[in-house]
Amino acid sequence: MANLSLKHIYKVYPNGAKAVNDFNMQIDDKEFIVFVGPSGCGKSTTLRMIAGLEEITAGELKIGDTVVNGMEPKDRDIAMVFQNYALYPHMTIFENIAFGLRMRKIPDVKRDKEGRPVLDKDGKEIPVMRKYNKQELSAKVNEAAEILGITEYLKRKPKEMSGGQRQRVALGRAIVRHPKVMLLDEPLSNLDAKLRTQMRSEIVKLHKKLETTFIYVTHDQIEAMTMGTRIVVMKDGFVKQIDTPKNLYKYPANKFVAGFIGTPQMNFFACTLKKSGDKVKIKFTDADAEITVPYAALMKTTPHYLDGSKNVILGFRAEAVSLDGAGDAKIKVKISHSEELGTETLVYGDLNTEGGADTRIIIKAGGFRQFEPDAVCTATLDTEQIHLFDAETEESIMPRIPEFNYLDCSVKGGKLTFLGITETLPPAISCGEGKGELLIPVSAVKFGGDIKAKVTDSETVNGKILLTLEINSGRLYALSDEERKGDVSVGIDYKAITLRAGGSETLPMPRINCLDGTLIAEKKDGATVYSLLIGGEKFAAPEEVYTKIFAATTGRKAFNTAFRYEWDAYGLSVGESGISAEVEEMLDYGEEKFARVNACGQTLYVKTDADLSGTVRIVPDAAKVSVVESERRIRIV
Amino acid sequence: MKIVEKFKALPDKIRAIPKKLSDKLAGAKEILTQGNGKVTASMLVMGLGQLIYKQWVKGAMFAFIQIAFIVYFVLTGATDLFGFFTLGTREGNAWYGVEGDNSVVRLIMGILAIMIIVLYAAIYVSNVKDVYRTQCAMDTLKKPADFKQEAAALLDKSFHKTALALPVIGVCVFSILPIVFMILIAFTNYGGDIVPPALVDWVGFANFGKILSLGQFAPTFFKIFGWNMLWAVLATALNYFAGLGLALLLNKKCVKGKAIWRAFPILAYAIPGFITLLGFKFMFSYGGPINYYIQQGGGEAVGFLGLDAKWSARFIGLAVNAWISIPSTMLLATGILSNVNTDLYEAARVDGASSWKQFIKITLPYVLFATTPVLISQFIGNFNNFGIFYFLRGGLYADGYFLASDTDLLINWLYNMSIDNNYYSIGAAISLVIFVITSIISLTVYVLSPSYKQEETFR
Amino acid sequence: MNKANVKVVKAKTKRVLNVLITYCILILVAFIFFFPCLWLILASFSKSGSIYSFDGFFPAQYGFDAFKSLFTDTVMYNYPRWFANTLFIAVMSCILGTLLTILTAYCMSRFRFKSRKAMMKATLLLGMFPSFMGTIAVYLIMTQFNLINQHWGLILIYSAQAPMGYMVQKGFFDTIPYSIDEAARIDGASNFTVFVKFILPLSKPMLVYTALTSFTWPWSDFILPKMLLIDKDLYTVAVGLMSLGETEFARFAAGSIFIAIPIIVLYFCLVKYMINGMAAGAVKE
């Protein structure tokens, strides 16, 4: 019955270890969220922070509209189910379920012995807080017990019950209070496999019935996939991906998610990509094998991975390969053994038919089938279902929303030609002449320019709309806030592009300006004024900023700690008084002008309309600031 | 291996000390430089800052503590503190009716005064910290906890403060203070002729020098120490393994009526120790039953526990100690054995392991692991086992010993010297030496034991 | 007989032999532990009372004189009075000592405060000091506070020193899952409520164990009462019995039996709790 908002949530232990790093998430009412990841990934810690059992180091946690940081667990209106059930061994099941109610008071009006309200002298009822009475208690407990089918056990003690029944009691204890949020910490991991499957579907049913927000922690990806409306995959304190089960399976954002979700595990192979024409050759590094896939399947792949030199990791699931399918992408597999599972057979093999490096591959074959060990077969890969990851960062190199459009271009006489159109380069971009390449971030394609384009495809990814535009039969990706169809006109934001041509390279203007400073408090006319102190200059801090800083710090740390203040180029302006800065260069991007200045040893980019030179004063817009605590690297605002 | 690692980690720990100290100092410096007027007010008068912040009850309590302390200090505290350093200035003389200072009482009241001052200082610091905390909360627009919340926290978040207050005070007065007193006595000349009403004085390390240099102490010390170590090891091992063996025996499947068999050792466990010991002393005495039978058989009465008896008395001591201690080890082992995973035994049986092998490979490691702390405390208990030889043959002084006999442990020797013969300061110095030895042994074992390490990862 | 049969017979004899040896040892053990007790009991029924009128372990003549004089001849040795004194001191120290020990152990097990590690190591160290050296100081403190020759002085010392032995109890509390506390906290209980409503009921074996040990210590201690009690009427049984000579051996034995019986009965009733308590205190898994 409530939505949750987690903003920049951190858990940092006194020894500096970060258990949870910058956790951001909006959870809607009635969602079933699953936190999944290997042990020690911070999923339980996050849940315990939501429960209030663990202190939040920094960040803002809202349940409904209330900020609950520092609030006692009992006041948060949450309920929690523990891995070992944590039933009270010495109490009966009834008492176990009723205990939470007994500890609570409910609003009522003052009543006399017969239960009639007592009125005050104005004839109004007198509000009081009272405990639940016997009838109410047993009615509530019975209601919860009925939902879970444990009515007949209410007089028993926990140790007289089986694991599954205990789990029901734990659930009953949680639901009896009708909490806003139900938190479940690996509740099924102590049950046997059969019971687990059964309880899984019961919990899902319970969720539907209660219409409450559920947050469920598990290390079991099958539980996550079958139960969650959305899944948060975590590793080492970082959120790796938040998405629906289907999208996690189909579009894993990194190798970790790809390997973690799905059984059998995804097949991974080190390889290189080489594009020739409209085909891409995938060459396996550890095996003497290569396959060819149409470039259309890898359209969103960052082009510089396609030159045959960069190491990438190819991933595909067992069901994306078949031993008798048709297709061009064929590989030789030496079978080692197979597992018959009834509906399907898992075939284990090696790509290295002669032995050597470990190139284990798992293939799903239908029905009961016998395979001769050491036989060499030909497997066919479904090129529509391959995933590619950077070998070092392990991030997907074909994300659903590509970061850049990679285009061939040529520069001549201050004019840039790409996709068959020619545009005049703004003065800020000076570049050698000749052929080259152009990187346009998808977010730098703005609607309403003078380039005519046609929308050929649109795809909604996590609330963002990715449009595929056709310009002179060339392709350009763009992000849009709204659905667009047919002909559109676009323009390029030149300050974000990277241009390599004629042996020189123009980098985009950095988007973030950083300044180091502190927070100070001063008394002025009896009121306290809080300001950001940067380079000796004071700028009044808006309430939202300083309250967040206060919330993320203890004691007077807010005033004794160094912060890194960040703005984009529009957050800074030039004014009468402010931080003194030396202008280094003027950057003219046509429609907009920016000054590159040096202040307090930092290079800043400031939006300006005039041509500047010499010493200027920079005025930051305190309302647009983001704040990072320098020492612990914690993002606060 | 582990010990080596511990010692390797030592330099890092020592290097961390300055940082820890500077962190502490940084905290103090922050309060001094950033505390506002109310903090200063509370520094001058406890509770004043709180009162200005309108925290009436808390402020009043702090103010009351300060007043109470000042009253105490003026009335007795100052004199007591002074007495700690002088140990009394006026020598009493019953002849002239002069009531002098009792040095020992001066010393103990001095320690008490220092404890009270330390306690007061701690409250003072917490008073300053408290008002600074309120300031911090005000400065960062947080609501400081009101009195009701703070009182409620004493039953919740800081329940440990409420719950530990009484035990800590009790332990301080009745356990720590006596020990501090004893340590300090080792640095005075208390004892011999110098007992109240004579004035005692501080002598520094002279007593330790005496132990080493004076002929009478050193040989006795080393002789007794050797026997003491032997005793502690033998007694601990005997009790431990016999108790474990008994538990295993009673755990056997073929034994019927376990409760009845177990009752006999428990009977021995339940009888108060001094009764047992005096009973055994009677049993082995010249006129006791054992000698009666020897004489009946035509032999001569044997002084099992007599002055000349060395090994016979030692063996009787060992046996009697075993008689008293084995039952408790047995109970402990029984409890622990019931926790051993029985699957392990079945697996071992399938693998064809003999019962001896099962004991060596499964039972012993598990029990040893589970009982390391108990083993240590048993070792210490045996090392300092005062009762056994005090009751069996107390107060005997043999040749070749200074105020001790063959069976006396260090602790008995200390008793003889300090309680019976007034060698208080020397006794205290020796007990310090004993303490250092035992604590090094047991702390090393304890820190290296798996039980301690698991405590760290608990939860 | 074939080979398999030989093997079976061999195994059978081995088993029978095993059982036989086991019982032999058990009987021996029972004898060793029971005989001294029997001797004491027999001695208490000695007519003359002196240890010198015994035929070995057995009194020359039997009678109830020792018991009679124990309770009637109270001029010199007021045994009923001592017994009442001992009971009072032991019961009071048991209640207070158990409370303080349990509280200490609970805090050490459940709270993580700054000085916790230091306190744990300190108590460990303090436990290694030869304790009677401190008794001089205890005596002096008691004289300063005018608590000499008073039972409450003894009770104060026993209860105040009891928390030092909190380790066993802490070990037990460590085995109670922490998630029970957390579940209770989410249900709205404060730490105090958790302690009273969950930890205490769940640690009955430990409570019994603690109560028993903190009862038996004052019950059979003699050093402190001997030092702090001057009036013969205030004596505890231990001090009183110590003052009996060898000629009063029968009376000593009779008195011993009376003081031993309550404890023996307690131990037998609670032996299950004892075993569980000791084991749980030691095992930390």
Instruction: Give the chain B residue whose CA is nearest to the CA of A549.
Output: B140
d(CA A276, CA A260): 33
Between CA A465 and CA A401 the distance in angstroms is 9
CB contact under 8 A, B141 and A521: no
Per the model's pLDDT, the better-predicted residue between C261 and A94 turns out to be: A94
C135 touches chain B (CB under 8 A): yes
How many residue contacts between A and B have a Cβ separation below 8 Å?
Answer: 22
pLDDT average, residue stretch A84-107: 89
Does residue A555 sit at the B interface (CB-CB below 8 Å)?
yes
Angstrom distance (rounded) from CA A304 to CA B303: 100
- As a 3-state breakdown, chain C gives helix, strand, coil percent values, each rounded to 5, of 80, 0, 20
pLDDT, mean of residues A516-537: 86
The shortest C-alpha distance from B31 to chain A (Å) reads 10
Closest-approach residue (CA) in chain B for C277:
B335
- A12-54 residue pLDDT tens: 888 888 899 889 999 999 999 999 999 889 999 999 999 999 9
pLDDT in tens, A305-354: 888 888 899 999 988 888 877 777 888 888 888 888 888 888 888 887 77
Phi, psi of C276 (to 5 degrees): -60, -45
Between A158 and A123, residue with greater pLDDT: A158
Nearest CB neighbour to C187, from listed A84, A90, A100: A100
Q: Which DSSP string do the residues of A34-62 spell out, in sequence order?
A: EEE-STTSSHHHHHHHHHTSS--SEEEEE
Q: What is the pLDDT of residues A402-445, one digit of tens each?
A: 888 888 888 887 888 888 888 888 888 877 788 888 888 888 88
Chain B residues whose beta carbon lies within 8 Å of the beta carbon of residue C127: 377, 380
- Enumerate residues 58 to 97 of chain C having a beta carbon within 8 A of any beta carbon in chain B: none
| Candidate from A550, A559, A560 with C-beta closest to B142 | A550
C125-138 pLDDT, tens digit per residue, is 787 777 666 777 88
Predicted pLDDT at A94: 93
| pLDDT at residue B453 in the model | 58
pLDDT at B456: 44
Q: Which residues of A touch C207 (CB under 8 A)?
A: none
Chain B nearest CA to C58, separation (Å): 8
Task: Please judge whether C186 and A104 are an interchain contact, meaning their C-beta atoms are less than 8 angstroms apart.
Answer: no
From the list A547, A553, A556, the residue facing B34 with the nearest CB is: A556
Taking alpha carbons only, the member of A574, A411, A606, A389 closest to residue A497 is A411
Q: What is the mean pLDDT of chain B?
A: 82
Q: How would you list the strands of the sheet with A290-294, edge to edge?
A: A290-294, A279-284, A267-276, A307-316, A386-390
Helix (H, G, I), strand (E, B) or coil at A107: strand
Q: Residue C89 — very low, low, confident or very high, per pLDDT cuts 50/70/90?
A: very high
Q: Is the peptide bond before A264 cis (omega within 30 degrees of 0)?
A: yes
> Is C250 near chain B, with CB under 8 Å?
no
**CA nearest to C117, candidates B398, B455, B426:** B455
The mean-pLDDT minimum among A593-597, C103-107, C260-264 falls in C260-264
C126 touches chain B (CB under 8 A): yes
In whole angstroms, how far apart are CA C91 and each of C154, C155, C207, C217? 12, 9, 14, 11
Percent of chain A with pLDDT over 70: 99
pLDDT tens track for A278-302: 888 888 888 888 888 888 777 778 7
C201 touches chain A (CB under 8 A): yes
Summarize the confidence of residues A91-113 as an average pLDDT: 87
Q: Which residues of B touch A550 (CB under 8 A)?
A: 140-142
What are the residues facing A627 on neighbouring strands? A565
DSSP string, A359-386: -EEEEEEESS----TT-EEEEEE-GGGE
Taking the Cβ of residue B252 and every Cβ of chain C, the question of whether any pair is shorter than 8 Å is answered with: yes
Helix (H) or strand (E) holding A188: none
Give A452-472 pLDDT, tens digit per residue.
888 888 888 877 888 888 888
Distances (CA, A) of C83 to A301, B218, C92: 93, 45, 14
CB contact under 8 A, A556 and B140: yes
In angstroms, the separation between the Cα of residue A550 and the nearest Cα of chain B is: 6
Per cent of chain B over pLDDT 70 is 93
What does chain A come to in residues?
637
What per-residue confidence (pLDDT) applies to C277?
65
**Cβ contact B439–C30 (<8 Å):** no
Q: What is the nearest CA distance from B15 to chain C, expressed in angstroms?
A: 19
Q: Which chain C residues are Cβ-neighbours of B170 within 8 angstroms? A: 100, 159-161, 163
> Would you say residue B13 has pLDDT above 90?
no
**Which residues sit opposite C153 in a β-bridge?**
none
pLDDT tens digits, one per residue of A128-164: 888 888 888 999 999 999 988 888 999 988 888 888 8
Give the whole-angstrom CA distance, residue C147 versus residue C234: 13
Please check whether residue A587 is in contact with residue A635, taking contact to mean a CB–CB distance below 8 angstroms: no
Of the residues A520, A528, A547, A556, the best mutation for testing chain B's interface (the one with the most B CB atoms within 10 Å of its CB) is: A556
Name the minimum distance, in Å, from the CA of B17 to any CA of chain A.
16
Q: What token pair was written down for A521?
A: 């408090």
Chain B residues 156-185 with a CB less than 8 Å from chain C: 156-157, 159-160, 163-164, 166-167, 169-171, 173-179, 181-182, 185
Contact of B133 with chain A, judged by CB distance below 8 Å, is answered with: yes
The complex's ipTM works out to: 0.81
A33-42, A228-237, B103-112, B436-445: range with lowest mean pLDDT: B436-445
Q: What is the pTM of this model?
A: 0.83
The contacts of residue A111 (CB under 8 Å, 6+ apart) are A117, A118
Lowest mean pLDDT among A26-30, B339-343, C4-8, C48-52: C48-52
* Higher per-residue confidence, C260 vs B167: B167
pLDDT of C281 reads: 53
Average confidence (pLDDT) over A250-263: 90
Q: pLDDT for A181-222, tens place per residue?
A: 999 999 888 888 888 888 899 999 999 988 899 999 999 989
Per-residue confidence (pLDDT) for residue A218, from 0 to 100: 93
Which of C219, C253, C278 shows the shortest C-beta gap to B272? C219
Question: Distance (Å) from the C-alpha of residue C2 to the closest C-alpha of chain B?
Answer: 23
How many Cβ pairs closer than 8 A exist between chain A and C? 55
Please judge whether B140 and A553 are an interchain contact, meaning their C-beta atoms are less than 8 angstroms apart.
Answer: yes
**pLDDT tens digits for C71-88?**
887 777 888 898 899 999
Label each residue of B158-205 as H, E or C. CHHHHHHHHHHHHHHHHHHHHHHHHHHHCCECCECCECCCCCCCECCC
Out of A51, A74, A86, the one facing C188 most closely (by C-beta) is: A74
Is C260 within 8 Å of B275 when comparing Cβ atoms?
A: yes
At A196, list the tokens: 């687990």
Chain mean pLDDT for chain A: 86
- Only one residue has tokens 């535009």, namely A469
Q: How far is B164 from chain C (nearest CA, A)?
A: 6
Residue-wise pLDDT tens digits, A182-193? 999 998 888 888
The shortest C-alpha distance from B66 to chain C (Å) reads 23
How many angstroms separate the CA of residue C1 from the nearest CA in chain B? 26
